[in-house]
């Protein structure tokens, strides 16, 4: 699991070209919702070690988050070979995260 939000975000074209399963997490280290979700994300990811986890610091003027239509934090976007399979906004339990991960990492 990625520990810190990356200040430098990848370009959308790079994300679209990622092979395999990826969890793209948008949030902020100062966001209470984001901090509360971290143990849930960690628990769900423990069962899916193949899943790439990218944590991207989001905010006003950040193009990657805007390209995915992110409005609330955290937003978890589940990608299969660079294509969005599902998303969760402000997840409240590890089970929902785990189910979304299982869909991209059979």
Determine the pLDDT at residue 35. Answer: 97
- Collapsing DSSP to helix, strand or coil, 86 comes out as strand
Q: Residue 68 has which token pair?
A: 């995915």
Give average pLDDT by consecutive 10-residue segment, the chain, 106 residues: 86 98 97 97 97 96 96 98 98 97 96
Q: Which long-range contacts (CB under 8 A, 24 or more apart) does 44-47 make?
A: 44/94, 44/95, 44/97, 44/98, 44/101, 45/1, 45/97, 45/101, 46/1, 47/98, 47/101
Burial status of residue 15 (CB atoms within 10 A of its CB: 0-12, 13-18, 19 or more): buried
pLDDT score, position 91: 97
pLDDT for 106: 84
The pLDDT of residue 3: 78
Q: Which domains does the chain have, with CATH numbers?
A: 12-104 (3.40.30.10)
């Amino acid at each position: 699991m990625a520990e810190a939000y990356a200040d430098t975000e990848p370009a959308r074209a790079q994300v679209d070209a990622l092979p395999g399963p990826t969890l793209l997490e948008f949030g902020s280290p100062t966001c209470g919702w984001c901090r509360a979700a971290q143990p849930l994300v960690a628990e769900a990811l423990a069962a899916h070690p193949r899943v790439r986890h990218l944590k991207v610091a989001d905010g006003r003027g950040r193009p990657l988050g805007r390209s995915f239509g992110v409005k609330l934090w955290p937003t978890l976007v589940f990608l299969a070979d660079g294509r969005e399979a599902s998303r969760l906004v402000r997840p409240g339990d590890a089970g929902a995260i785990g189910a979304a991960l299982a869909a991209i990492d059979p």
